[in-house]
Amino acid sequence: MAIFAKELGISDTEIGVIVAFNALALFTSSSIFGRASDKYGRRRFLLGGLALSSLAFFLQILAYDFLSLLILRSFLGFSLGIFPASLIAYAKESNQSLAKFSAFGALGWGVGTLLSGLIAFYIAVNQVFLFSAFLAFLALLIALMLKFESHQAIDVPRFPAEVVKRNLPLYLAVLVRHTGAHMIWTFWSLFLIELGADLLWVGVIQMMNSLTQFLFMYTLGGRIKYSLSIAAGLLLSSATFLTFTIASDFWQLIPTQILLGVSWALLYVGGLRYLMDKNVEKATAGGLLDSVLNLASIIGPFLGAYVVAFGGYRSTMYLASIFAFASFLLFKLFRTE
């Protein structure tokens, strides 16, 4: 998206605003539909969210300036926030391994980033949006074949204060860590190009992160205790963000992507297993985790746009490392077994 925006003549600061509004829409949508899924059932939100997401991916090809891309990315964010909580709750209620479920999500990210690099390199950057629309529609067709048990409504308050309070140490830690991460990710592809990567290598490097997540989640993700997995993920994130700053060529970032994949796998799978096992309101708790991730991706791009303007891309990485270490301290300080 950042590369596409640059082709339209959009500035770094404006890219930060677009990413933040996309995340704001995701945050709003995740908050609303996680609770709604617990109350009204999973199926309608899973299918409806995938259908709208396919349309929203397709419409991005119509963007031609800052305002049009801002509107279309916001619509995409709202659409993408409708279904994840329902899907996570469905996986748990179907007795699926949450580690393996997360692993296939990471594999999808890995394959997607590689294919996006190939499409952008050999065809055009905006054709990635058409392919994304096709994949979302394919996911909708697959979801139509899922069998849903009759849903027993869970009465969740409009603002689920008890769910927030119960999981606050995790939510706080993820918010701080992911705010730092999104300062980096907003400009990540531009940083890779600055180091000499072409569009194909941008996809390959991003794929290494997701492929590592898949392998780690699938083999080890469910075998580590919740608190240890979360704490290790936060601490390793801090070290990983710091290693980004010493790269002088794009290929040197390949081993750092392996570290990044392990750190996120530890944090995300540990957090998901905790939320699904400790909360009756599974979709609400999972939706709130998505909301926290998206809140971080609202704050992060705004901070990143400011930091980049004064200190360049590497300054976001130093600050993200500090944030991740602070999140580790927060989790250790406030967590309860």
The DSSP result for 263-324, as a single string, is HHHHHHHHHHHHHHHH-S-HHHHHHHHHHHHHHHHHHHHHHHHHHHHHH-HHHHHHHHHHHH
pTM above 0.85, yes or no: no
Note the pLDDT of residue 152.
66
- Judge whether residue 255 has pLDDT over 80: yes
- Judge whether residue 221 has pLDDT over 70: no
Return the minimum-mean-pLDDT range out of 86-90, 214-218, 228-232, 282-286.
282-286
Burial 258-277 (b: 16+ CB within 10 A, else e): bbbbbbbbbbbbbbbbbbbe
Mean pLDDT rounded to a whole number for the chain: 86
Q: What mean pLDDT do residues 71-83 have?
A: 94
Q: Would you give the distance in Å from CA 140 to the centre of its chain?
A: 20
Q: Are 233 and 268 in contact (CB under 8 A)?
A: yes
- How many residues make up the chain in this entry? 337
Query: What whole-number distance in Å separates Cα of residue 293 and Cα of residue 23?
Result: 9
Query: What whole-number distance in Å separates Cα of residue 256 and Cα of residue 201?
Result: 15
Q: What mean pLDDT do residues 276-296 have?
A: 80
Note the pLDDT of residue 38.
79
Q: What mean pLDDT do residues 117-145 have?
A: 91
- Judge whether residue 298 has pLDDT over 60: yes
Q: Are 261 and 210 in contact (CB under 8 A)?
A: yes
Topology of 2-146+162-334 in CATH? Growth Hormone; Chain: A; (1.20.1250)
- Judge whether residue 150 has pLDDT over 70: no
Query: What whole-number distance in Å separates Cα of residue 7 and Cα of residue 220?
Result: 41
Note the pLDDT of residue 235.
95
Q: Six-digit token pair at 252?
A: 């040197």
DSSP letter at 236 equals H
Amino acid making up residue 9: G
Q: Are 304 and 15 in contact (CB under 8 A)?
A: no
Question: Residue 214 — very low, low, confident or very high, per pLDDT cuts 50/70/90?
Answer: confident
- Judge whether residue 336 has pLDDT over 70: no
Amino acid making up residue 149: E
Element (H, E) at 23: helix 12-40
Note the pLDDT of residue 274.
83
Q: What mean pLDDT do residues 111-115 have?
A: 84
The SS3 call for residue 118 is helix
Amino acid making up residue 183: M
Q: What mean pLDDT do residues 43-62 have?
A: 94
- Judge whether residue 98 has pLDDT over 90: no
Percent of the chain with pLDDT over 90: 33
Q: Are 77 and 29 in contact (CB under 8 A)?
A: yes
**Between these two residues, 302 and 81, which has the higher pLDDT value?**
81
Amino acid making up residue 87: L
Query: What whole-number distance in Å separates Cα of residue 323 and Cα of residue 246?
Result: 18
Write down the H helix ranges in 123-251. 127-143, 161-166, 168-185, 188-194, 199-219, 226-244
Return the minimum-mean-pLDDT range out of 28-37, 148-157, 200-209, 238-247.
148-157
Q: What mean pLDDT do residues 170-190 have?
A: 90
- Judge whether residue 212 has pLDDT over 80: yes
Domain parsing of the chain, residue ranges: 2-146+162-334
Amino acid making up residue 70: L
DSSP letter at 42 equals S
Amino acid making up residue 114: L
Taking only the tens place, the pLDDT of each residue in 1-18 is 888 888 899 887 888 788
